[in-house]
Structure 1
Amino acid sequence: MVQRALHCDEEMPDMACVFLITTTGCVLQGDRLALDITLGPRAQAHLTSQSATKIHAMDANYAAQSQTITLADDAYLEFLPDPVIPHRHSRFLSDTQICVAPSATLLFSEIIQPGRKHHRPDGCFGATVLSISTSATRPDGRPLFAEKLVIEPRRYLMRQTGVMNSFDVFANVILCAPKDKAERIHERAEADVSLAEGVAFGACHLPNDAGLIFKVLGRETAQVKAKVREFWGLVRKEVIGAALPPPYLWR
């Protein structure tokens, strides 16, 4: 369900804020979800979900999600849903296709939790397969970039260096923005690896002057969300010239 647009961001009162609500409360085997987002010229919107997306255990079939995001000239979209929680024995495939005008800005975040790690020992990285692919083009069809993340904990160890090591939560944040704005954001974005604090993060350029990609690893979801919020605040300040609203009390 797509909730009626609200104008609740005091820093950007003209921006539409929309909550996407899964009325069943979870994603089950056999589910096929489709989401199409289109912003016209100079439109501004913030999209989020009502809570984390829980992918339930499966004994047959799988769940799949397809998303298309289209931004016209000078459009601005913040698409920041709550985390995905793949439960033990779940199978989830997600494909996101982006078409963004050179003057438009898209901030798109995906946060992946390891599962119900406090529920039972094999609940952490207990999913069977999690596949997340993202690709982007210009309106004329010119390809910008493509990325695919495949997690199969039963086939490959998640605690390896270069995979998750001692971290549990992963965030992948894609920023499609004009080159000059992306450069200023990259100059201000911080990077660090701190095993003591349990967090690692950093940004790098996307191919074809498409923008930036910002990745975060953390032991707890709150740490990862905090770093994503810092990057979000930096993007909004550089692109729009506005600050972020105070965090909601329930977040």
Structure 2
Amino acid sequence: MKPAGSPPWAVAEALGASIPELAAYQDEPPQMRSGTVGKTGFLRLGFETRGSRTILANLERRAPYMAQRALYCDQEMPFLPYVFLITTTGCLLQGDRLALDIDLGPGAQAHVTSQSATKIHGMDANYAAQIQTITLAEQAYLEFLPDPIIPHRHARFISHTQICVAPSATLLLAEILQPGRKYHHPDECFGATVVSFSTAAVRPEGRTLFTEKLMIEPQRFAMRQTGVMGSFDVFGNVILCTPADKAERILERAEADVQLADAMAFGACRLPNDAGLIYKVLGRDTAQVKAKVREFWGIVRKEVTGADLPPPFLWR
């Protein structure tokens, strides 16, 4: 936890300084020190119900992290606000520290996504770090579906997501990790130095639900071996926190299969402590993985809200 009165991005700074996988990368970038103005972005989104719809009631931002007004563009859920996350730099660089805080009040509903893929540039000093805090009150519903993460060759990136979810709330959180710019240069595919993702969830009273950590270090451990990525290139990880009865209905509808001819593998299983489900997808191409994540998203939305998905955007 960050000390009282410290800025939100201080948590990302403290996280990167404390975990062992980044111990060798604490040197400062020669261009601009880590954590300075312009490299410390903060975004807080607070959603509340107003009458029959949810509004973006609280928006705090610090460049290079920002968002604009909420859009009501979903014809299947016309009272659902869409908010697009924006980074004005267009990518993450060495020394960047980002903090995202999403808070949904009782009964609030929202869809949060990103303007484009998150590109993490190559690094010769330090690393980039991101902290995400998501809080859902009773009966809240959040779809957090950002575009894929693309770590470039020699990228160093850590992300930690802390979830606090009420028993009757639903959170759909998806992360899609690409192997890099595999068509740009042969060494770009799984060329990152270290990429680390962790997620932890608790109930409002503090009871732990689950923790998960994914870490890849392609220069130390082969990614093509069985049990890691094998012949697959793209990894999709979807966490669904939802009441147990909804989770069981969704699990019954979610398919599981390994399709080697199509270079696809996918399936769901239960999270501990009746927290919900986790759904994983492996594919050769990003479009395949995104399509499977969308299928699961459609099942979740229908079972939880009764609504269908809108047609996909033309640019997706």
**Shorter chain as normaliser: what TM range?**
over 0.9
- Measured in 2, the distance between the counterparts of 1:128 and 1:196 equals 31
Q: Which has the higher contact order (CA 8 A, sep 6+)?
A: 1
Give the aligned length. 251
Identity, in percent, stands at 79
Alpha carbon RMSD of aligned pairs, Å? 0.3
Greater C-alpha Rg: 2
CA shift for structure 1 position 117: 0.4
Candidates 67, 72, 76, aligned match of 1:2: 67
1:175 is the counterpart of 2:235: no
Q: CA deviation at 1:82?
A: 0.0
Q: How far is 1:2 from its partner?
A: 1.1
Residue 64 (structure 1) aligned with residue 129 (structure 2) = yes
3-state SS of 1:11 partner: coil
Matched, 1:223 2:288: yes
Work out which of the residue numbers 214, 218, 224 in structure 2 matches 1:149. Answer: 214
- State the shift of 1:126 in Å: 0.1
2:187 to 107, 122, 129: 122
Q: Which of the residues 167, 171, 185 maps onto 1:106? A: 171
Aligned-partner Cα distance in 2 for 1:194–1:127: 27
1:235 aligns with 2:310: no
Give, in whole Å, the separation in 2 of the partners of 1:17 and 1:173: 19
- Give the deviation of 1:159 after TM superposition: 0.3
CA–CA distance in structure 2, aligned partners of residues 2 and 183 of structure 1? 35
For 1:88 and 1:120, the matched residues in 2 are separated by 9
Matches within 5 A, 1:151-166: 151-166=216-231
| CA distance, structure 2, for counterparts of residue 118 and residue 184 of structure 1 | 40
1:23 maps to which of 88, 95, 103: 88
Match of 2:5 in 1: none
Structure 1 segments, 4+ long, off by >2 Å, are: none
| 1:35 correspondence with 2:100 | yes
State the partner residue of 1:204.
269
Q: Deviations over 1:205-231 (max 9, x none)?
A: 000000000000000000000000000
Residues of 1 paired with 2:190 and 2:278: CA distance?
Answer: 24
Paired letter, 1:119: H
Q: CA offset at residue 3 of structure 1?
A: 1.6
> Which residue among 49, 59, 77 is the counterpart of 1:12?
77
Q: State the Cα deviation string for residues 23-68 of structure 1 (Å, max 9, x = none).
A: 1100000000000000000000000000000000000000000000
Distance in 2 (alpha carbons) for counterparts of 1:28 and 1:221: 23
Instruction: Write the letter of the residue equivalent to 2:183.
Output: H
Runs of 5+ unmatched residues, structure 2: 1-65
Give the 3-state SS of the residue equivalent to 1:21 in structure 2: strand
Q: What code does the residue aligned with 2:246 have? A: K
Given the two structures, how large is their TM-score scaled by the length of structure 1? Answer: 1.00
Q: Supply the AA of the counterpart residue of 1:236.
A: R
Aligned amino acid, residue 303 of structure 2: E
Is structure 2 residue 278 aligned with structure 1 residue 213?
Answer: yes
Deviations 1:170-194 (A, max 9, x none): 0000000000000000011000001
Residue 252 of structure 2 is aligned with which of 180, 187, 198? 187
Q: Distance in 1 between matches of 2:243 and 2:93?
A: 39
- Give SS of 1:226's match: helix
Unmatched 5+ stretches in structure 1:
none
1:122 counterpart SS class: helix
CA distance in 2, matches of 1:198, 1:21: 32
AA paired with 2:114? S
SS at 2:187 equivalent: helix
Residue 51 of structure 2 corresponds to none
